């Protein structure tokens, strides 16, 4: 008894079994008004019995859409689940995408090659925090799909969601300078270097550095910048140990992310430095945990959920061919908590 090697049940099979044309089966699914209710019910029943389900790729190919949007970001696949900043952004984005009944395809930058970007079955892309000169940006644009850039200058014709990183960073630095600090350390996220070849860096980092530096002129303070390799507390701790062994020691540390600042607080504790009495620490992002550290972290708030929501909105607008003004640069603001205090020489 030669059993047919397993093959998909196809629309044609259903049509034959029901004694109708393929078009009718298709219509039963997609245009109920095109056939009599009785027949439709019968067709659907036959389909059910045969265990038929339409092939999503075939359908997508014909219709020109798949019902999913891709998120491209500059780290490992697991990053948005591990990093609180990315996670919040994704939550904002998700809420909009979900309301539109779309799926979300995660496309990490750190894949062997760019195959994933070229083959991702999506209707549009959100490019999150990729480095400005990343070649992958070109690959995305080649797809010719609706695209939104986040934390990236973007391209003419494509909306971008931007945050006032520069202003926030400047406020953070000005805050410390105002407290009398004159020796500042900066725990910096990857900056990409002059050659612009390091792709793990993102544009926000550069804007933040610029902001820090912008607060300096005329104050007579100095600033020592130390770059970390990854956005992790452990890296922040390591950088803090290095910066705090400088002579003279910085009396305040500006951290380009709260993740780094968490590590800095740990390191300070281990080194027996009291925060903020011996050392002031200022973070960036205002992740939920920043409020719960001891001491609670002074940091720069950026509207992460809102950022995601805007990215989603702008992408949907493109998908639906509706016009939608991209938002102005989203504001940041300094949140004063307990980890920063005035300098006591």
Partner DNA sequence: TTAGACTACTGAAACGATTTAGTAAATCGG
Partner DNA sequence: CCGATTTACTAAATCGTTTCAGTAGTCTAA
- Contact positions vs a second copy (CB under 8 A): 6, 8, 51-61, 66-68, 70, 76-78, 80-82, 87-88, 90-91, 94-95, 97-98, 101-108, 110-113, 115-116, 118-121, 139, 142-144
Looking at residues 57 to 76 of the shown chain, list those that interact with DNA (rule: CB under 7 A): 58-59, 61-63
94 interface partner picked from DNA, a second copy, none, CB below 5 to 8 A per type: a second copy
Q: Binding marks (x or -) toward DNA, 41..60, rule CB under 7 A?
A: -----------xxxx--xx-
Binding to DNA by residue 291, rule CB under 7 A? no
Nearer CB in complex with DNA: 144/217: 144
Q: Could you tell me if 151 and 162 are in contact, meaning their C-beta atoms sit under 8 angstroms apart?
A: yes
CB of 63 to DNA, least distance (A): 5
Nearer CB in complex with a second copy: 115/246: 115
Cβ-based neighbour number of residue 118 at 10 Å: 11
Nearer CB in complex with a second copy: 209/309: 309
Q: Of 3, 5, 39, 262, which one interacts with DNA (CB under 7 A)?
A: 39
| Separation in Å, CA 7 to CA 26, 46, 59, 172 | 19, 17, 18, 62
Rounded (10°) CA dihedral 139, 140, 141, 143: 90
Q: At what angle do helices 258-270 and 233-243 cross, to 10 degrees?
A: 50
CB of 105 to a second copy, least distance (A): 5
Nearer CB in complex with DNA: 7/292: 7
Phi, psi dihedral angles at 335 (to 5 degrees): -110, 115
Q: Of 2, 35, 272, 286, which one interacts with DNA (CB under 7 A)?
A: 35
CB of 24 to DNA, least distance (A): 3
Q: Of 3, 6, 7, 194, which one interacts with DNA (CB under 7 A)?
A: 7
Whole-number Å distance between alpha carbons of 293 and 239: 19
Bridge-based pairing of strands 124-128 and 68-73 is parallel
Nearer CB in complex with a second copy: 8/249: 8
Nearer CB in complex with a second copy: 294/336: 294
CB of 125 to DNA, least distance (A): 17
Binding to DNA by residue 343, rule CB under 7 A? no
Nearer CB in complex with a second copy: 110/344: 110
CB of 50 to DNA, least distance (A): 10
- Of 325, 281, 335, the C-alpha closest to 303 is 335
Residue count of the chain, please give it: 345
Q: Could you tell me if 177 and 219 are in contact, meaning their C-beta atoms sit under 8 angstroms apart?
A: yes
Whole-number Å distance between alpha carbons of 336 and 345: 22
Nearer CB in complex with a second copy: 118/269: 118
224 interface partner picked from a second copy, DNA, none, CB below 5 to 8 A per type: none
CB of 7 to DNA, least distance (A): 7
Nearer CB in complex with a second copy: 116/166: 116
CB of 139 to DNA, least distance (A): 14
The residue ranges that bind DNA (CB under 7 A) are: 7-8, 10-12, 19-24, 26-27, 29-31, 34-36, 39, 52-55, 58-59, 61-63
């Amino acid at each position: 008894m030669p059993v047919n090697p397993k093959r998909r049940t196809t629309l044609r099979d259903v049509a034959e079994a029901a004694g109708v044309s393929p078009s009718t089966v298709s219509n039963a699914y997609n245009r109920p008004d095109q056939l009599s209710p009785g027949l439709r019910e019968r067709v659907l029943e036959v389909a059910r019995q045969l265990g038929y389900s339409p092939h999503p790729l075939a359908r997508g190919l014909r219709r020109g859409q798949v019902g999913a949007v891709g998120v491209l970001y500059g780290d490992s696949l697991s990053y948005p689940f591990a990093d609180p900043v990315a996670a919040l952004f994704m939550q904002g984005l998700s809420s909009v995408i979900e309301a539109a009944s779309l799926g979300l395809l995660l496309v990490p930058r750190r894949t062997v090659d760019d195959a994933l970007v070229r083959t991702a079955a999506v209707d549009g892309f959100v490019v999150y925090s990729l480095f400005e000169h990343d070649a992958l940006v070109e690959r995305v644009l080649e797809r010719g799909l609706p695209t939104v850039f986040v934390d990236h200058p973007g391209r003419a014709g494509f909306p971008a969601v931007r945050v006032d990183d520069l202003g926030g960073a400047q406020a953070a630095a000005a805050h410390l300078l105002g407290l009398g600090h004159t020796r500042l350390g900066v725990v910096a996220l990857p900056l990409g270097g002059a050659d612009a070849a390091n792709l793990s860096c993102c544009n926000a980092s550069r804007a933040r550095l610029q902001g820090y530096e912008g607060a300096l002129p005329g104050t007579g303070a100095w600033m020592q910048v130390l770059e970390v390799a990854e956005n992790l507390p452990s890296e922040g701790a390591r950088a803090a140990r290095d910066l705090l062994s400088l002579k003279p020691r910085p009396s305040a540390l500006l951290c380009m992310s709260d993740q780094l600042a968490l590590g800095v607080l740990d390191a300070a504790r281990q080194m027996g430095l009291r925060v903020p009495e011996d050392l002031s620490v200022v973070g960036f992002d205002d992740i939920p945990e920043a409020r719960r550290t001891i001491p609670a972290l002074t940091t720069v708030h950026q509207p992460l959920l809102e950022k995601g929501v805007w990215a989603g909105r702008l992408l949907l607008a493109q998908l639906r061919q509706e016009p939608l003004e991209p938002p102005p640069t989203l504001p940041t603001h300094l949140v004063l908590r307990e980890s920063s205090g005035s300098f006591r020489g």
